[in-house]
């Protein structure tokens, strides 16, 4: 079933909440582990990020095949435009996160494994096996910058997104949030 103005498909609803909640968790874990140098969390962050990437690709493909759903109500022009910008940012950003993560880890020599299953190996320093040697420091640095800046952009975009959803639900009392919870618009 495709999305209609009256009702979203279960595919849209499930994909939205699975990807949305995992992205929020990865943002929190990523920021925490970077800030507090919690290196034991890195493999978990990377593994979940890789697994969710597969679902993200499915979600983006589904959005492109299905098209964007019609607005649930008559939003003001600026509100609609802001929502379009935020939705595109969130959709494209979810692809850039794992790609920049993979490039960062690979080029920095840290290797990548999904819950122990090796995707590409570490590049250990032969003179000090507790250290790794970058394969391409510039590339790793650029990918790191992208990952970090995107983290800040996402915190802002998600805050706006949630504020918008709550405004529609609590102030405008339209069906925007209910529809994303799988409910019918008119009921």
134: exposed, middle or buried (Cβ count in 10 Å: 0-12, 13-18, 19+): middle
Among 41, 134, 153, 165, binds ligand HEM (CB under 6 A): 165
Contact 157, 86 (CB under 8 A): yes
Q: What element of type H or E holds 135? A: none
The span from the CA of 76 to the CA of 92, in Å, is: 24
Contact 101, 147 (CB under 8 A): yes
Residue 91 touching ligand HEM (CB under 6 A): yes
x/- binding map, residues 56-75, to ligand HEM, per CB under 6 A? -------x-----x-xx---
Residue 49 touching ligand HEM (CB under 6 A): yes
> Which residue lies nearer to ligand HEM by CB, 31 or 123?
31
Torsion sign (Cα): 31, 14, 62, 9: negative
* Helices within 37-125 (DSSP H only): 42-66, 77-107
Vertex 178 angle, CA 174 and 184, to 5°: 95
Among 14, 18, 24, 133, binds ligand HEM (CB under 6 A): 24
Among 14, 41, 42, 96, binds ligand HEM (CB under 6 A): 42
User: Distance from first CA to last CA of the chain, Å, rounded?
Assistant: 19
Residue 140 touching ligand HEM (CB under 6 A): no
Among 9, 11, 14, 31, binds ligand HEM (CB under 6 A): 31
Q: Enumerate binding residues for ligand HEM (CB under 6 A).
A: 12, 16, 19-20, 23-24, 26-27, 30-31, 34, 42, 45-46, 49-50, 52, 63, 69, 71-72, 83, 87, 90-91, 94, 97-98, 101-102, 104-105, 112, 144, 147-148, 151, 158, 161-162, 165, 176-177, 179-180
């Amino acid at each position: 079933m495709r999305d209609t103005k009256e009702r979203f498909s279960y595919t849209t609803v499930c994909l939205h909440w699975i990807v949305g909640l995992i992205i929020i968790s990865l943002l929190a874990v990523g920021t925490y582990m970077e800030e507090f140098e919690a290196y034991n969390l890195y493999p978990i962050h990377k593994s979940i990020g890789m697994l969710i990437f597969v679902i993200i690709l499915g979600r983006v493909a589904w959005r492109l095949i299905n098209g964007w759903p019609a607005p649930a109500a008559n939003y003001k022009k600026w509100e609609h435009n802001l929502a379009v910008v935020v939705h595109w940012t969130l959709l494209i950003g979810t692809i850039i996160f794992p790609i920049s993560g993979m490039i960062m880890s690979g080029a920095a020599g840290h290797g990548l494994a999904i819950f122990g299953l090796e995707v590409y190996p570490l590049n250990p320093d032969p003179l000090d096996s507790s250290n790794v040697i970058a394969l391409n420091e510039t590339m790793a640095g650029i990918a790191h910058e992208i990952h970090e800046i995107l983290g800040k952009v996402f915190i802002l975009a998600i805050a706006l997104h949630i504020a918008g959803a709550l405004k529609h639900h609590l102030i405008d009392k339209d069906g925007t949030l209910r529809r994303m919870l799988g409910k019918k618009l008119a009921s």
